[in-house]
């Protein structure tokens, strides 16, 4: 770990209603975190008193923001549902309801929400989540669907490639999707990545105008460039290099059990992401028993290895699972060890 950079030890989903701190005064909540070397938290809803006490104690406060997903919007805005290459609506995948990232009214809605959130003086930054084309990736064999081929996506693609080649006007949706994927896949991949990166760029301009000292982070799909047939570009639309132009901190979601990976993988992917982006990388690691039991020893080791690989920070997902599954001790022991190693550096 780099001795000249502060080490961020962060809990995602922290709440003053968790068992260890439930019912105690806000100052004691902050003290409980300080004693365990927790210096950053992601929160959903908290009282001004708790947020004030955390800030007073030097605990940074972050919020997460969902972009192109959501059950409620999927149900109430059928026009925002993604269209697959066969011309049909993409169905929900379990809990996951993806939305087309190219609906201008949705994009503007999210930009307005981002501005409101980043302007909140009680928080230190916002992490972008579900900032991708629709896919539920957190499983062993994700269903990879080529999307989105709605009227808006096709129109925007035509505009993007105008001057390079002409996109046929006389094909039905499925035929046109096949024509694009078979004849012009590189330009389609570039178009998708640019649409995601453009939203992030617009958000960064808002941040620079409204609250330049606030942090923009991003939760990214943890796939290498050559993994899953290049699906991080072709399906997801996340180009880490493009995104690095506007993102301060990358947080690849290295949930190793959900992805059926070994315990060494989160640290390995963290190192890779640092090389790909040249930015700070705070991996967000899995704490829950899903789909199988995560032992105390493995949780502690994953946090340690990931924190060491990052050199600047690690996030535990989630504080609620540490509470429910009685895993506070191994997680906080890992934090204590990381702090000790940092302080012992010459």
Helix (H, G, I), strand (E, B) or coil at 64: strand
Statement: the pTM of the whole predicted model exceeds 0.85: yes
CA 331 to each of CA 5, 258, 268, 304: distance values in angstroms, whole numbers, following the listed order: 22, 19, 20, 9
**pLDDT for 246-292, tens place per residue?**
999 999 999 999 999 999 999 999 999 999 999 999 999 999 999 99
Choose the final residue of a domain: 247, 266, 287. 247
| Total of domains in the chain | 2
Each residue's pLDDT tens digit, 10-56? 999 999 999 999 999 999 999 999 999 999 999 999 999 999 999 99
For residues 78 and 122, membership in a common domain is answered with: yes
CB 184 within 8 A of CB 158: no
CA distances from 124 to 68, 110, 188, 203, 316 (A): 23, 19, 36, 15, 18
User: What distance, in Å, lies between the first and last C-alpha atoms of the chain?
Assistant: 11
- Residue where a domain terminates, one of 200, 230, 247: 247
How far apart are alpha carbons 342 and 35 in whole angstroms? Answer: 16
**CA–CA–CA angle 213, 338, 260 (5° rounding):** 90
Quote the domain boundaries for residue 238: 64-151+184-247
User: Which residues, 6 or more positions from 338, have their beta carbon under 8 angstroms from its beta carbon?
Assistant: 1, 7, 9, 37, 303, 304, 307, 308, 314
Q: How far apart are CA 12 and CA 63, in angstroms?
A: 9
* Whether residue 121 is found in the same domain as residue 218: yes
Q: Higher confidence at residue 126 or residue 5? A: 126
Residue 203: pLDDT over 70: yes
pLDDT at site 146? 96
Reported as a single tens digit per residue, the pLDDT across 88-129 is 999 999 999 999 999 999 999 999 999 999 999 999 999 999
Residue 177 within a domain: no
Residues 137 and 255 in one domain: no
Q: What is the pLDDT of residues 288-331, one digit of tens each?
A: 999 999 999 999 999 999 999 999 999 999 999 999 999 999 99
Confidence of residue 3 (pLDDT cuts 50, 70, 90): very low
Residues 37 and 24 in one domain: yes
User: How many C-beta neighbours within 10 Å does residue 229 have?
Assistant: 11
Together in a domain, 136 and 228: yes
Res. 2: pLDDT tops 60: no
| Angle between helix 26-35 and 48-56 (nearest 10) | 40
CATH code (residue 140): 3.20.20.80
**202 in a domain, yes or no?**
yes
> Which one of 247, 263, 281 terminates a domain?
247
pLDDT-derived band at 217 (thresholds 50, 70, 90) equals very high
What is the model's pLDDT at position 44?
Answer: 96
Res. 139 pLDDT band, cuts 50 70 90: confident
Instruction: Kindly state whether residue 174 falls inside one of the protein's structural domains.
Output: no
The answer to whether residue 158 sits within a structural domain is: no
Residue 339 has pLDDT above 60, yes or no: yes
pLDDT for the residue numbered 343: 83
- Whether residue 28 is found in the same domain as residue 106: no
- Based on the domain organization, do 122 and 208 belong to the same domain? yes
């Amino acid at each position: 770990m780099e001795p000249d950079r502060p080490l961020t030890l962060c809990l995602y989903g922290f709440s003053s209603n968790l068992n260890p701190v439930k019912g105690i005064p806000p100052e004691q909540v902050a003290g409980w975190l300080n004693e365990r070397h927790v210096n950053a938290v992601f929160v959903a809803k908290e009282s001004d008193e708790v947020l004030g006490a955390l800030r007073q104690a030097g605990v940074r406060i972050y919020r997460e923001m969902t972009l192109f997903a959501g059950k409620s919007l999927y149900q109430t805005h059928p026009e925002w549902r993604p269209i697959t290459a066969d011309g049909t609506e993409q169905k929900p995948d379990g809990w996951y309801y993806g939305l087309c990232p190219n609906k201008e009214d949705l994009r503007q809605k999210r930009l307005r929400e981002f501005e409101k959130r980043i302007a909140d003086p009680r928080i230190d930054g916002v992490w972008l989540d579900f900032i991708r084309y629709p896919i539920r990736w957190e499983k062993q064999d994700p269903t990879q669907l080529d999307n989105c081929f709605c009227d808006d996506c096709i129109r925007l693609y035509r505009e993007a490639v105008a001057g390079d080649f002409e996109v046929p006007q006389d094909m039905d949706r499925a035929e046109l999707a096949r024509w694009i994927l078979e004849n012009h896949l590189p330009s389609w991949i570039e178009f998708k990545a640019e649409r995601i990166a453009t939203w992030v760029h617009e958000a960064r301009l808002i941040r620079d105008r409204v609250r330049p000292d606030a942090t923009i982070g991003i939760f990214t799909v943890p796939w290498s460039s050559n993994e899953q047939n290049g699906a991080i570009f072709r399906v997801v639309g996340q180009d880490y290099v493009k995104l690095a132009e506007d993102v301060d901190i990358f947080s690849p979601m290295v949930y190793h059990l959900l992805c059926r990976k070994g315990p060494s993988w989160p640290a390995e992917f963290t190192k890779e992401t640092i090389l790909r982006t040249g930015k700070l990388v705070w991996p967000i690691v899995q704490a829950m028993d899903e789909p199988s039991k995560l032992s105390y020893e493995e949780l502690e080791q994953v946090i340690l290895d990931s924190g060491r690989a990052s050199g600047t920070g690690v996030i535990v997902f989630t504080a609620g699972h540490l509470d429910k599954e009685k895993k506070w001790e191994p997680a906080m022991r890992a934090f204590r060890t990381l702090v000790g190693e940092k302080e012992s550096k010459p």
